[in-house]
A and B are shown apart, each in its own frame.
Chain A
């Protein structure tokens, strides 16, 4: 059986598994014996990737089929400071898994999305997960957090997503909320308005925002950067999702 190497973002972990990405996503979201459920975001990593500080070889060695022949579902190699140690060249496809185990694979794009202007909302996913509003586009935001921090706060690598702001991007005070499901919208409006009136580029909306979020709120896709490079995994359009990934789309839109 093939062995796969997966980099999980929620929680941050490196895992070896005999399951294909689709099966691993379903297993990771809904479990096996237990009635568990939860969104998952993970990347498939080149199985040849090795790192001196990570016992990957040991993980592969332990990943053997069960006595009854069933594939081994997961061997956790490490659960701490993984993202910063995996070079982006080893990252293949990123997978978004819904809470009931539907899996959507997003290959990386060569180009970053165009900045359409207005204010931005970022959900950091890994290694920490605050909710941030910013005047900066994704590339500038990533630079500020990872490459050229303007304050003492920085991370060596980051996974984040840009979230939809709808009318609030241009009109924080009076724009229509529409289908934005964010809690405490008055606070979000105030934070966005502060970006207009104060000389700051970012403002924290929520220190401990859950790393899981409704996928329908993704604006363009998911970003992954480690100081050397920024990868972008674009989410297909709503039309394409409905037409080609209907089961995932329906589950993501619950």
Chain B
């Protein structure tokens, strides 16, 4: 098996190397006029300053958590084991931070270069933006593979890799939630004062919050999203490795199936690297089609690689079918989620149409479609899970739950391509903003508009993909938790006649809505502060609105940063401490039920929020494109209200829920041996 692990290391190095090479290529592109460079620098400085503060705070948190792990596992399993666990945790957090940082730095370098390249046409502009997005995808996959493989090679223990995953997830949760709070605070405040009160257009340089808004796109949609998928990617792999380690096989066979998830990651990274080459757009072509083609080609290449590797490597065919079930279902779910949020799809058109009757009807309709959108994805998750489970159960080699774990890995193995498409969105969004602020030509803005529309579609597809993959991941993590407890001699049965189980389930079910509320309330509180600041600037310096005086962009950027970090404290403690409190206080069965409840409501809320938010957003855009009265109509006013309500749904609370349930599952699995030994009730 070591040869596979060596190939894995090589794959990780190739991915990171390719990311660095593309990073350098993007940086060599023309950054444009002095004004464009100045605007880009504002955004870069704002993003760097936020990340510095965020990572500083996270560094202290990671350090504290590492000490706790060292003490807890040092006492339970011995000092050396505790030390390794703490080191793995720190390494996981560091890898996640580096992936997010690299992605964000290239995004802030690429947006101005993509805007400048737009002067030459769609092809060069798309090329810069997508290649920059691929830096994030390649770096994330490469660092994850390198980190997991190195940790496994050194300690040969999936439990230690679990520590690595916990580190990555803890950082991801805070990066995602913090970025989500930041980006929506700036976005809502900039829109409410700029557009509604003062009447200036989007991305207008006279708006004091315009730079904070663009910084938010980077820290929320690039750094946060990258850390989020990094977390799911690692967690799904670790869950499958843990389940592989519990198979009743010979030692060699167990090692083989423990390493298999890592092999799948390696194949996925190669498939993504090849698939990325297919993403090209000609002048007059459609960027959205190119992005989708890239995803489809990557899936096909990965599918062929999986079949070849399973046959050549002598793996049980059930493992192959389980992996393919995850991959195919992931793609189908991704594309069906586009149905609920696509620009001209019935749910969006219907929501736009009823907007003429007011904001209330718009909100009810969008919310209802968000609720309906849960059904196909959940059915897809259930189908993938059942196929993977029964294929596994039918095998004499692997188990059903291991099959579920492989299905999750199958979905996420092509994350390199998925993240590349996703990161492209905020880059072109910012390119448009820079073009506007730097006073670039109308042709530049037109090209940026075309690229931006494709980014929105790609985002809808990858969001569906990410949520469904997270769902399978946490199911596998739940199974991993049960098997960790089984190792400690505790059989998790989850009888609904047991009041402790019911209590745990309710507490778990309560957590995602509570977490969502905390993050969304943070957005409204912080937006309130920033609105006051923007109003103050307009009031005290009339020259801003006339365009003769430059606003104080830095003030809004630092306000958004400090408020976002403050707002993270409570949700972070909720995610990490609540499972431990339930576990130590109410026992392993209650904690199992707690996870079950959290997984169910977490997935439902994540789907509802992502898709309802997307429906409202695109309904507004559909009206703006000249339907049902267009801009300035009553329908448009209602559409703007719906979109504003949906903003924190789809960009703050919704995407953070994946990570929340992953973190809670990881905390539970990691501390399972300790909770098994020390708990008060149950």
Contacts and interface: CB of A to CB of B under 8 A. Distances in A.
A242 B443 CA distance: 9
B78 interface: no
Interface residues of A, number: 29
A14 interface: no
B81 interface: no
Contacts of B546: 26-27, 30, 101
Interface stretch (A62-70, A114-122, A218-226, A245-253): A245-253
Contact of A181 (B204, B538, B630): B630
Interface in B435-462: 441-442, 445
Nearest to B442: A246
Given A100-B199, A254-B201, A177 B442 contact: no
A216 B547 CA distance: 24
B629 A181 contact: yes
Interface of A: 26-27, 30-33, 35, 37, 98-101, 177-183, 185, 214, 216, 242-243, 246, 250-251, 253-254
A157 B535 CA distance: 41
B626 A179 contact: yes
30 contacts: A26-B546, A26-B547, A30-B542, A31-B542, A35-B197, A37-B199, A99-B199, A100-B198, A100-B206, A100-B545, A101-B545, A101-B546, A178-B627, A179-B626, A179-B629, A179-B630, A180-B629, A180-B630, A181-B629, A181-B631, A181-B636, A183-B633, A214-B631, A214-B632, A216-B631, A243-B442, A246-B442, A250-B201, A251-B199, A254-B632
B282 interface: no
B199 A181 contact: no
A33 B636 contact: no
Given A33-B542, A242-B442, A243-B442, A251 B629 contact: no
Given A26-B547, A99-B199, A179-B633, 8 more contacts: A35-B535, A35-B542, A100-B201, A101-B546, A179-B629, A183-B633, A242-B442, A254-B631
Contacts of B636: 181
B8 to A, nearest CB: 51
Interface of B: 195, 197-201, 204, 206, 441-442, 445, 535, 538-539, 542, 545-547, 626-634, 636
A28 to B, nearest CB: 12
B201 A178 contact: no
B302 to A, nearest CB: 43
Given A181-B636, A254-B201, A32 B629 contact: no
A98 B201 CA distance: 11
A31 B544 CA distance: 12
Contacts of A32: 542
A251 B630 contact: no
B629 A182 contact: yes
Contacts of A30: 198, 542, 545-546
Contacts of B547: 26
A242 B200 CA distance: 17
A42 B633 CA distance: 25
A208 to B, nearest CB: 18
Given A182-B629, A214-B631, A254 B542 contact: no
Give the most central of A100, A185, A250: most B CB within 10 Å.
A100
A101 B631 CA distance: 19
A251 B626 contact: no
Contacts of B634: 181, 183
A26 B206 CA distance: 13
Give the most central of B547, B630, B634: most A CB within 10 Å.
B630
Give the most central of A32, A99, A250: most B CB within 10 Å.
A250
Nearest to A217: B632
A243 B198 CA distance: 25
A251 B545 contact: no
A103 to B, nearest CB: 12
Contacts of A31: 542
Nearest to B634: A183
B629 to A, nearest CB: 5
B627 A181 contact: no
A7 B498 CA distance: 83
Contacts of B198: 30, 35, 37, 100
B643 to A, nearest CB: 14
A56 to B, nearest CB: 28
Contacts of A99: 199
A214 B624 CA distance: 13
Contacts of B204: 100
B631 A35 contact: no
Nearest to A249: B442
Nearest to B545: A30
B185 to A, nearest CB: 22
Nearest to A176: B627
A189 B204 CA distance: 37
Nearest to B630: A179
Contacts of B542: 30-33, 35
A99 B546 CA distance: 12
Give the most central of B198, B199, B206, B535: most A CB within 10 Å.
B199
Nearest to A23: B546
Contacts of B445: 246
A121 to B, nearest CB: 14
Contacts of A183: 633-634
A214 B632 CA distance: 7
A31 B201 CA distance: 18
Q: Which 10 A-B pairs have the closest CB atoms?
A: A179-B630, A181-B633, A179-B626, A99-B199, A181-B632, A214-B632, A100-B200, A181-B629, A246-B442, A100-B199
A216 B624 CA distance: 12
Contact of B195 (A98, A181, A182, A254): A254
Nearest to A33: B542
B204 to A, nearest CB: 8
Give the most central of B206, B628, B632, B634: most A CB within 10 Å.
B632
A139 to B, nearest CB: 29
Give the most central of A99, A179, A180, A216: most B CB within 10 Å.
A179
Contacts of B629: 177, 179-182, 185
B141 to A, nearest CB: 40
A242 B546 CA distance: 21
A253 B631 contact: yes
A32 B545 CA distance: 9
Nearest to B633: A181
B544 to A, nearest CB: 10
Contacts of B535: 35
Contacts of B626: 178-179
A181 B538 CA distance: 29
A235 to B, nearest CB: 16
A177 B199 contact: no
A27 B542 CA distance: 10
Contacts of B633: 179-183
B630 A178 contact: yes
A223 B40 CA distance: 45
B280 to A, nearest CB: 28
B539 A179 contact: no
A250 B630 CA distance: 14
A100 B547 CA distance: 10
A101 B206 CA distance: 12
Nearest to A26: B546
A170 B566 CA distance: 59
A180 B634 CA distance: 10
